Amino acid sequence: MRRLLTDLCRELHADHADLTREWGLSTGFFDRLRSRFSLEVYSNWKVVGWIETLNDLVYFLDVLKQWRREQDLAEFTVQLFDECQEKFFEHGYFDDLFPSGKARVSGLEKRLSDLCRSLARELTQESLWFDPVVPIAWCRQQKLVRWEAWGTLKDNFEKAEVPGTLSIEDTGAWCQAPSDIRRALRRSAGRAMFLVEPAGISVQIGTRVSPIWSGWGRQGQWQWVCHPPTIAIQNPRDPVTVGPTIVYGKDRRPRKVKLTDQRQVDRIARAWRTIQLAWPEGHSVLALLTSRIIPLQAKGVVSFSYRHRPGLSFINCFDRDDLDLIDDLIHENSHHHLNLLLRKYVMYRGDHNQQIFYSPWRRSLRPLRGILHATFTFTMGALLFERLSSWAAGRGGAERWKKAGLRNRDLQRAQFRCVEEIESVRYSLQDLHYADHHLGWLTGSGTRLVAQLAEAIDQVTYESKRFRRDVERSPFRSALRTHIEELQHARRTYGSVRLSKA
């Protein structure tokens, strides 16, 4: 990430100086900020997300310059349409550029410009608050009387920021605007102008100006009320923090961001400790890769995470019980784990966005990357449920199980989920084997990973033999039978030509 930031700053200077001036993007300040970042922060979810957003901006600046030189705009638009579907499947960029869902040339240049302007403002605003001393020092060095930067203080769903607040530093700390500024923000629809001056940083809402940080160097101080991050787990390496809660509407779309109730923080902490006791090896990876949790209050919305924000997990804490919470923590951490491996190793050749593989989890056709992610994460889920089942069956297990907030039925469900995931993972391992040996899509690294997953699921299968018969006699027997029949039907429907006999 450090090398990527260096390259992006160089490219902005060399290739996009005209466009960055047009949108007031102070690339010189980004250079200064880069030099002040410590090596450790390049794995922080907030800093990595900022760098990835800058990377996206540079990509769209390249696209915009190509557009202005292109002769065949229709063909260019179709190519961009296809590339955005593959490259930005986690973002809303595709909808920004192609709101109709079609590759329309009309208005595309304006939509590209608007997107670049929006990303430039987002990047500038976030860059001010990693350390407010840096932009003030840069302003003095440049002999600027004032540096003005447009921004917003609306709620932010991707970063889980409450309206009228600023996320500061990279720790999860935040500060809140005074009540009069919050009222002014409601009248301005959240729009704000940040004013960086040699003596401090303020925000202007309409005609009202409010100092946020005043002073020079480390002698400066916050003028808004600041709050430390909410810590759920005090890890030896870094604390695990809990951010605000994102509230969804009945249409399963985010509606607002609110402060998180302490009861949810306590539930997360208890689930975390349960993983530590039941599966120490899995907990060590969890503690290494998950650093911040955002609760979701959302009926019917599954937990999720972003490739470009490692360590940040969005967990549905309201529509899911305590066993689900344990599962979701491991599941999202497994996405962080695989995303880290995919940054380091090339596991498959090309994007291969073709949706040809049946997913036992989504019950629909998915591309190769989706199957790889699902197989990896649900293998970890099978391991988790096997360890939980063993932990509960051991001496003193009933009491430990109760202290974890789990019931007897949860033990039956954990055993069922273990067996269910074994069946699903084995199904997808066959497809990954076909993608490797028949299509040639996996690299050596991808082949080794799939082999390791197969070895892991073989071990879980062996360990689960002691309770599989219990599952087949439990209230979950019908669900297990139905699941196996669905997989058999899917194989007959989608997989007959792809089954590997190697």
Confidence bin at 502 (pLDDT 50/70/90): very low
For residue 449, give Cα distances in angstroms to 73, 346, 380: 42, 11, 13
> Do 333 and 357 fall within a single domain?
no
Task: Evaluate whether residue 239 is within a structural domain.
Answer: no
Q: Are residues 367 and 488 in the same domain?
A: yes
501 band by pLDDT with thresholds 50, 70 and 90:
very low
- Domain termination residue (choose one: 342, 373, 388): 342
Tens-digit pLDDT profile for residues 138-158: 999 999 999 999 999 999 999
The percent helix, strand, coil of the chain (3-state, each to 5) is 55, 15, 30
Q: What would the mean pLDDT of 418-437 be, rounded to a whole number?
A: 95
Task: Judge whether 450 lies within some domain.
Answer: yes
> What is the pLDDT, as a whole number, of residue 404?
86
pLDDT of residue 499: 40
Domain match, 134 and 192 both:
yes
pLDDT digits 0-9 by tens, 13-55: 888 988 888 887 888 899 889 988 999 899 899 999 999 999 9
Checking if the pLDDT of 85 tops 90, the result is no
- Same domain for 308 and 355, yes or no, is no
Task: Tell me the C-alpha to C-alpha distance, in Å, between residue 93 and each of 56, 112, 158.
Answer: 10, 10, 13
Domain assignment of residue 425, yes or no: yes
**What's the sign of the alpha-carbon dihedral 287, 38, 344, 4?**
positive
Domain total in the chain: 4
Residue 110 lies in a domain: yes
Residues 100 and 81 in one domain: yes
3-state secondary structure of 44: coil
Query: How much is the pLDDT for 319?
Result: 87
Q: Is 446 exposed, middle or buried (0-12, 13-18, 19+ CB in 10 A)?
A: buried
pLDDT tens, residue by residue, 307-333:
899 999 999 999 899 999 999 999 999
- Residue 75 maps to a domain: yes
Closest CA to 427 of 497, 486, 479: 486
Q: Are residues 457 and 352 part of one domain? A: yes
* Residue 19 lies inside a defined structural domain of this protein: yes
Chosen domain end from 80, 107, 127: 127
Q: Which domain holds residue 458?
A: 345-502
Contact criterion met (CB below 8 Å) for 107 and 77: no
Regarding whether 372 and 485 lie in a shared domain, the answer is yes
Residue after which a domain boundary falls, among 342, 371, 391 = 342
223: DSSP letter: S
The answer to whether residues 483 and 425 belong to one domain is yes
If asked whether residues 251 and 168 sit together in one domain, one would say: no
- Identify whether residues 372 and 462 lie together within a single domain: yes
Domain-embedded: residue 448: yes
Burial of 128 (0-12, 13-18, 19+ CB in 10 A): buried
Q: How far apart are CA 71 and CA 105, in angstroms?
A: 13
Considering the domain architecture, whether residues 9 and 106 belong to the same structural domain is answered as yes
Q: Are residues 413 and 267 in the same domain?
A: no
Which residues are bridge partners to 197 per DSSP? 200
The answer to the question of residue 489 being in a domain is: yes
- How many C-beta atoms lie closer than 10 Å to residue 48's C-beta? 24
Mean pLDDT of 184-192: 91
Q: Is the pLDDT of residue 500 over 60?
A: no
Q: Backbone phi, then psi, for 256, in 5-degree steps? A: -160, 165
Q: What is the pLDDT of residue 351?
A: 63
Between CA 102 and CA 108 the distance in angstroms is 11
Mapped onto helix, strand or coil, the DSSP state of residue 329 is helix
Mind listing the pLDDT tens digit for each residue in 443-471?
999 999 999 999 999 999 999 999 999 99
Q: Is the pLDDT of residue 96 over 70?
A: yes
